[in-house]
Amino acid sequence: MTNFEKYKDDLMKIDGEFAVDKYTRGIVKCNSNIECEDCLLNSGCSEKDKMKWLYEEYKKPILSDDELELIKALNKAMGKEYKYIARDTDGFIRFFETKPCINVLKNYYNKYGYTYIGSKDGVLFSNITHKDGLYDIENKCFIKE
């Protein structure tokens, strides 16, 4: 299934240009419901780039809508833009603004710090596991070290 097939009903509701919310992956009207930096297509907002995205294979998101909304709320509350997520060996989820390194304990760290939440129970961010590695929020993929 392509992105067009997945989002065709949402696209039909948009009068004018569309944008893709990089947090919720929802289709919204461009320039009215979303800031450019919050658009998945921000780096390629031309018609050609939009057509390319529409023809790409739809990838089921690793993060749920609720998890994406939580990240968006954390970004706003902390005045930051988290770009990476990792689950450490201790089970906690850590959020990073810049790409972190791995220490000898196979945990992720960053000299600029991180924010973590105590989600050891697996309810939140259950698709993020330590063995999968670092998750790139914007590109929707795991980065293997």
Task: Determine the Cα–Cα distance for residues 119 and 28; give it in Å rounded to an integer.
Answer: 31
Q: Is the sign of the CA dihedral 32, 35, 41, 45 positive or negative?
A: positive
pLDDT along the chain (145 residues), means of 10: 94 88 80 77 79 88 86 90 87 87 71 68 78 86 76
Q: Look at residues 42, 135, 41 and name the one whose alpha carbon lies nearest to residue 96.
A: 135
User: What is the reported pLDDT for 118?
Assistant: 65
CB 8 within 8 A of CB 55: no
Are 16 and 30 a contacting pair, CB within 8 Å?
yes
pLDDT value, residue 55? 94
Q: What confidence score (pLDDT) does residue 8 get?
A: 94
Contacts (Cβ under 8 Å, ≥6 apart) of 14:
27, 28, 29
Question: Measured between alpha carbons, how far is 66 from 43 in angstroms, rounded to an integer?
Answer: 25
d(CA 28, CA 11) in angstroms, rounded, equals 8
pTM: 0.62
Q: Give backbone dihedrals phi and psi of 102, rounded to 5 degrees, phi first.
A: -110, 135
